Amino acid sequence: MKYIQLNGLNKDVSVIGAGCMRIARMTRDEVSELVHAALDHGINFFDHADIYGRGRSEEVFGEVFAAEPELRDRMFLQTKCGINQGMFDFSKEHILEAVNGSLQRLGTDHVDSLLLHRPDALMEPEEVAEAFTELYEAGKVLSFGVSNQNPSQMELLKTAVKFPLTANQLQLSIAHTPLLDAGFNVDMAHDPAVMRDGGTLEYCRINKMAVQAWSPLQVGYFTGTFLANEAFGELNEKLNELAEKYGVGTDSIAYAWILRIPGKMQVITGTTKAERLVHAAEAADIVLDRREWYDLYKAAGNRLP
């Protein structure tokens, strides 16, 4: 496993993260098995959100802590807040209420990281700063970041928030590459040249923020995976070729493609299968060469100018 350190924290964090969105329907024993599989293979990063399973994902994770409290010190625990009954809500009141609820459900006195879950157009940076300061001084949250935000939104937040932003959680996969496309097509008069994100990938790298890639095997916004998808025949052919070369699964190659991007890259898996977590862990040890990386990008249907 490979590890990075997030801004302002002296902690090793695995480049593979176990996303916990889908564990709400699992039993405590099933989640315990998943947690142990992750830890046994060097994955110490667990990603939650207060809305996952309407709170049940955090609850069942807390049940694991109640049965095995020693596990808490072995992991880096992250949660997210800001989605509130069909709207986005970065008010101080909601942030504090949401974090206290997450801590109660998780059965812990602190989380290592808190992300703001998507942008709130009505955000007042000063309110967010007050909430973050109160949470930090109470020892409830050790670091802060964002998700799905562009550089201007992060700069606006930083006008009041003085904590370093540790991470930006963004959708990225071989088959979903808006973060990359415009960078290849600067000053071109066609659709891939449209800057949809304001240079977010570059901004995060300049500011030493981790990019946490969610839905790393998805085609679009929860529209299905590209693995073994007939619509992505060329991509799967290339994935199979590289999987055979490196002696891993095609999913490992897909994760390795993300990790090959320079900067602090993390992959947030969404699997509930222990064996799939093992595949993800294997990806951390694969370094695709430049030709392999670009061949995969093009095999997904992207064209270089």
The predicted pLDDT at position 122 comes to 98
The CATH number given to whatever domain includes residue 76 is 3.20.20.100
Tokens 């998780």 belong to 106
The predicted pLDDT at position 8 comes to 84
The predicted pLDDT at position 112 comes to 98
Task: Please indicate, yes or no, if residue 133 is contained in any of the structural domains.
Answer: yes
The predicted pLDDT at position 266 comes to 98
Task: Please indicate, yes or no, if residue 293 is contained in any of the structural domains.
Answer: no
**Alpha-carbon gap, residue 130 to 95, rounded angstroms:** 10
Contact at 8 Å (CB) between 163 and 131?
no
Nearest to 288 by CA among 251, 261, 250: 261
Task: Please indicate, yes or no, if residue 191 is contained in any of the structural domains.
Answer: no
Sign of CA dihedral 241, 246, 252, 253: negative
Residues with active-site annotation: 52
For the chain, the domain total comes to 1
Task: Please indicate, yes or no, if residue 268 is contained in any of the structural domains.
Answer: yes
Task: Please indicate, yes or no, if residue 277 is contained in any of the structural domains.
Answer: yes
Per-residue confidence in pLDDT tens, the chain, 305 aa: 999 999 889 999 999 999 999 999 999 999 999 999 999 999 999 999 999 999 999 999 999 999 999 999 999 999 999 999 999 999 999 999 999 999 999 999 999 999 999 999 999 999 999 999 999 999 999 999 999 999 999 999 999 999 999 999 999 999 999 999 999 999 988 998 898 899 999 999 999 999 999 999 999 887 899 999 999 999 999 999 999 999 999 999 999 999 999 999 999 999 999 999 999 999 999 999 999 999 999 999 999 99
Start-to-end Cα distance in the chain: 35
Angle at 53 between CA 48 and CA 54, to 5 degrees: 100
Task: Please indicate, yes or no, if residue 176 is contained in any of the structural domains.
Answer: yes
3-state secondary structure of 49: coil
**pTM assigned to the model:** 0.96
What is each CA distance from 244 to 16, 237, 251, in whole angstroms? 22, 11, 12
The predicted pLDDT at position 221 comes to 81
Task: Please indicate, yes or no, if residue 78 is contained in any of the structural domains.
Answer: yes
Domain that holds residue 164: 3-182+197-225+257-285
The predicted pLDDT at position 220 comes to 82
Task: Please indicate, yes or no, if residue 234 is contained in any of the structural domains.
Answer: no
Tokens 């949250």 belong to 141
The set of long-range contacts for 178-185, using a CB threshold of 8 Å and a minimum separation of 24, is 180/261, 180/297, 181/302, 184/302, 184/304, 184/305, 185/305
The helix-helix angle for 290-299 and 250-259 (nearest 10°) equals: 110
What residues does 19 pair with on adjacent strands? Answer: 47
